[in-house]
A and B are shown apart, each in its own frame.
Chain A
Amino acid sequence: MGSRPADLFFSWRDAGPLHALQTNSIVYMETFLGLDYNVWWFLVFGAVISGYAILDGFDLGAGALHLFLKKEQSRRIALNAIGPMFDGNEVWLVIGGGALFAGFPVAYAAIFSAFYIPFMVFLMGIIFRAISIEFRSKEPMQWWRTTWDVSYCVSSIVIALSLGLMLGNIALGMPLNEAHEFSGDWLSFFNPFAILIAITTLSLFMLHGAIYLGMKTESRLYTKLTILAKNFTIFFVISFALSTFYTLLYIPHLSDEIKGHPVLFILPLIMTLAIANIPRCLKKRNFRLAFVSSSVTIAALLVLVAVEVFPYLVYSPQFPANSITVENAAASYKTMGILLVIALIGTPLVLTYTIFVFWTFKGKVKLDEMSL
């Protein structure tokens, strides 16, 4: 219990409307280390989504650039570089979905019913990506393998684009009714801003994936990936610059947050440094540091969106009072407490398995009889 500790930390945000939106009859606060449970869960959710974007991001990027690799041997190596990891990486999506459902059920309900069609397409991408990796190696015929290569590449691109499209629209906000449900037309999701964010996401994942594969390969394939990574860096910088200009020009409510609080300029600064570091690392053939840099870029981009959005989960520009916030979307404090305990026990366990699996498959890919 305390005096709105969330606002002490995020004092620049006028939290006035939040009181009006409080639907629970009893308003009280539970805090942990000075932060409200709801804010903690927002941070947990953000961390899980960042973890997903970093981990599955390289799988998706590797998938999206798959057709740039021409030789059968190269494609097999690329697939085996992610084969043992991608199931574990996808877990972060499942945990993220569960975290949103449990912690912010109102947001879970609103977001997935609003994005009905894009999300169904995303889910089809998830199915096809998984079975392409799984089925490709099961038959030797050329047509079979090519079919799955194309399916793998297309589904990875579709997943990356739809994730970006949804992220863009979340950042932008969408019309909501008093029940906090989407009240617009889903075709409006295909707006220039969201499309730019979708392309930026794809380019960032492709860059990230190329660096990951570079870390896992040798000789000519490695050289090829170095060149690809350089090109994807350019692709990313261009699409990111376009999205940034577009935001500054047309979507003031997103950039206001940053402009109002110069200390937050550290985020774009970190991103710029991380991106600038990538070509330097590629030149020095230090793929591991390049991978860290692209991971930092992904995380910083998501933190930037989170800062711009908070304390809203889904902003409703037309009727701000209908917006979904970390407070009016939240589960009860009792549940939040249980969830935080679950997260405190679960996170170290998940990190342990993840590190163990990555350590087991560390180093360059070697094909053996268990390979795909």
Chain B
Amino acid sequence: MDVEILARIQFAFTIAFHYIYPPLSIGLGLLLVVMEGMYLKTRNKLYEQMTRFWIRIFALIFGIGVATGIIMEFEFGTNWATYSKYVGDIFGSALAAEGIFAFALESGFLGILLFGWNRVSSGVHFFSTIMVFLGSMFSAVWIVVANSWQQTPAGFHIVGAGMNARAEITDFWAMVYNPSSVDRMWHVWIGSFLAGAFLVLSINAWYIIKNKHLAIAKPAFKIALAVATFFSLAQLVVGSKSAEGVAKNQPAKLAAMEGHFDSSASAPMYLFGWVNKSKQETYGLKIPGGLSYLSHGDFNAPVRGLNSFKKDVQPPQVNAVFQFYHIMIAVGMLMIGATLLACWYWKKGSLFNKKWLMWFFVWSVLLPQVANECGWFTAEMGRQPWVVYGLLRTSDALSKTVTANQVLFSLILFFLVYSLLLVLFLYLLNRKIQHGPETEEDDDHDLEANTKRNNPMIGQPSS
């Protein structure tokens, strides 16, 4: 295999693995703010136990997210040196801003969130929780800005030629508010809220099935269900706006997403299907004129097909882009259906008696993960053969000094280490779930209760 394909596999693998965690941190961050806010408002011990249980889970997720995230920041330099030189002005600025404005905020206050429960007043702790949550949101802003600039470059000009060519900022805010960044920002945020909400749903559904910690599990499930329902619906609106943006700004990607080859008068939209690239045909269940409506608000408007682009600017993996995109949408619809159904049973008062639905929610934690990953694969593979749309080809972006063997070595290393990380993560997450929240009854027998009694700092009502 050559350096390009190895470097792409390595980047895809490391970013896909990393992306399991930050959305969970953002989503759980939101729920922690809600839970701790409820605790401060009601002073109900129940919410305190709930918050502290989820802080422990948050710590686990955040830790792996940071460790795998640091890799990403340097992988541009190690594997994509030409890219780094070409876009350093712009992409680097967004990463620097992310570090100083977002990552510093969340990591700084993380110490207090995790270890400060007995050291600071409850108000300061709540403030720290909010800061960690905001930090993770800001982090997403800058990363999405940087990536959106790769999709829809704006606010720059090209200086120099050949080996020395590079993009320089001409208008910082035009770069930040490039045509796709705002839509994609909301899309990513909401995907993250869903990841967090479905994790909370999943674990509490399991407690409800096992008849454990019911006093905490039921209210936590309801909080998460409300969040999940609202954002599943919101994602439909935001996601379709994002697709409209693709239609407008990246027509070749849109054509690949729907397997649309010939520019026809009325372009269909597929619910599911299969693309045969060599025969230039797409089979499946379709809505006639759907793509035309999405692109132009008119069922009969023509939409550019892949064949209207030169061969060397067409996304090469059409079926993969098509499948990732359609899986994302199907999963999104499933989340809407499931949360609405659960809300209906909630209203009828029989939500927690529906064992099958609870089992569904136990596994539902995978849904937003699948949708998030598929969405990113659609975005990134649909942008090919470009790394910066219309400006720099992926094949030109590599580090020229790095050999295939070096990349193969690091790829194997990442594969082994990340497999270990995933196993450990799941093992420890499972342990925490089995252990469950610390409740009043456990406290009496616990060593921790002794600490509480012996330490005058702990257990006092916070001022």
Contact = CB atoms under 8 A, between A and B. Distances in A.
B99 A97 contact: yes
A106 B112 CA distance: 38
Going nearest first, the 9 A-B pairs with the smallest beta carbon separation are A105-B88, A112-B77, A102-B92, A353-B108, A84-B111, A98-B96, A346-B100, A101-B92, A109-B81
A111 interface: yes
Interface stretch (A229-237, A311-319, A356-364): A356-364
Nearest to B447: A369
B100 A105 contact: no
A299 B320 CA distance: 51
B35 to A, nearest CB: 17
Nearest to B109: A353
B74 A112 contact: yes
7 contacts: A25-B159, A88-B111, A91-B107, A97-B99, A102-B96, A124-B417, A134-B60
A184 B332 CA distance: 50
Nearest to B435: A138
A241 interface: no
B283 interface: no
A303 interface: no
A134 B107 contact: no
B168 interface: yes
Interface in A94-128: 94-95, 97-106, 108-117, 119-120, 123-124, 126-128
Interface of A: 23-25, 80, 83-85, 87-88, 90-91, 93-95, 97-106, 108-117, 119-120, 123-124, 126-128, 130-131, 134-135, 138-139, 179, 181-183, 186, 331-332, 334-335, 338-339, 342-343, 346-347, 349-350, 353-354, 356-357, 360-361, 366-371
Which of A25, A99, A131, A334 has the most chain B CB atoms closer than 10 A to its own CB?
A: A131
B388 to A, nearest CB: 14
Contact of B88 (A24, A127, A331): A331
A300 to B, nearest CB: 25
Interface residues of B, number: 78
Interface stretch (B210-218, B236-244, B398-406): B398-406
Contacts, number: 251
B84 A338 contact: no
B159 A102 contact: no
A334 B170 contact: yes
B60 A356 contact: no
B21 to A, nearest CB: 12
A84 B115 CA distance: 6
A350 B131 CA distance: 13
Contacts of B452: 369
B98 interface: yes
Interface in B398-436: 399-402, 406, 409-410, 413, 417, 421, 424, 428, 431
A135 B120 CA distance: 25
A95 B85 contact: no
A112 B104 contact: no
Given A331-B88, A335-B89, A135 B424 contact: yes
Interface string B115-148: 1111110000000000100000000000000000
Contacts of A368: 118, 451, 455, 457-458
Nearest to A369: B448
Interface in B67-125: 67-68, 70-71, 73-74, 76-79, 81-82, 84-85, 87-93, 95-101, 103-105, 107-112, 114-120
